[in-house]
Structure 1
Amino acid sequence: MISTVVASRRETGITHLLPEHRAILRLCRSPVSVAEIAARVDLPITVVKVLLGDLVTQGFVLARAPMPPRAATSEMTLLQAVLDGIRRL
């Protein structure tokens, strides 16, 4: 399962966190997948999941399923409109 995580607005209380936790928090300033975090911090994904679990429990990050790909639907609609226009020529 793919999950997306993003840092919450909470900024206080991070001094007690491990360096790995802080590195993950820096990456979570914008929505990012768990797999991408693991790659960027060069840790196994299972370790990153545990660290993210700590951060979620403490309220530092929010985890959610990724949003469905709306862009693909919009692109198909646009492509269909272009095709219809070309056929009318």
Structure 2
Amino acid sequence: MSQDGPAVSGHRTASWYDDEAGPVVRPYAMTRGRTRSAAETPLDLIALVVSETRRDDPVHDPTLSPEHLDIIRMCRDEPLSVAELAAGLDLPVGVVRVLIGDLLDAELVHVSRPVPPAELPDEQVLREVIDGLRAL
């Protein structure tokens, strides 16, 4: 971080930018200091996020940050996992979870969870069902 800020009472103040990266917004600033969202839906890495808005339906909510709008845009065409959104936005997963929670509360996205492998039917059961249907 650059220490070239103006002198205040004989001390230099730290600048809020990195010379190579440009302006830096700390993750806690994006989430307003929150580490969890109010959303009751568990947001694991494979949870799929889908935008509730259509492509021609712009969101005009002044409470939404640019990152919120990016999530909505990214999920309009196809569902994306929490992990994919975090990678695409270049943000920590914890921050993305909080932002998605905000969008869930505003009903701008919905989240679906893939069925865990333990809850999938056994392959033998599926074969028996197929054999039974063929016998009809």
TM value normalised by structure 1: 0.68
- Among 42, 58, 63, the alignment partner of 2:111 is 63
Q: Report if the CA contact (8 A) 1:3-1:33 is conserved.
A: yes
Aligned to 2:28: none
- The alignment status of 1:31 with 2:79, answered yes or no, reads yes
- Unmatched tracts of structure 1, length 5 or more: 74-89
Aligned to 1:14: 60
* Greater helix proportion: 1
Q: Report if the CA contact (8 A) 1:38-1:45 is conserved.
A: yes
Distance verdict in 2 for CA 1:13–1:26, change over 3 Å: closer
Aligned to 2:101: 53
CA shift, 1:64, in A, is 1.1
Aligned to 2:47: 3
Aligned partners of 1:14, 1:49: CA distance in 2, in Å? 22
Identity of aligned residues (%): 47
Larger radius of gyration: 2
Helix, strand or coil for the counterpart of 1:6? strand
- Unmatched tracts of structure 2, length 5 or more: 1-43, 118-122, 124-136
Q: What's the CA shift string for 1:9-62, capped at 9, x where partnerless?
A: 374643411001011111111101000000000000000000000000000000
Greater length-normalized contact order (CA 8 Å, ≥ 6 residues apart): 1
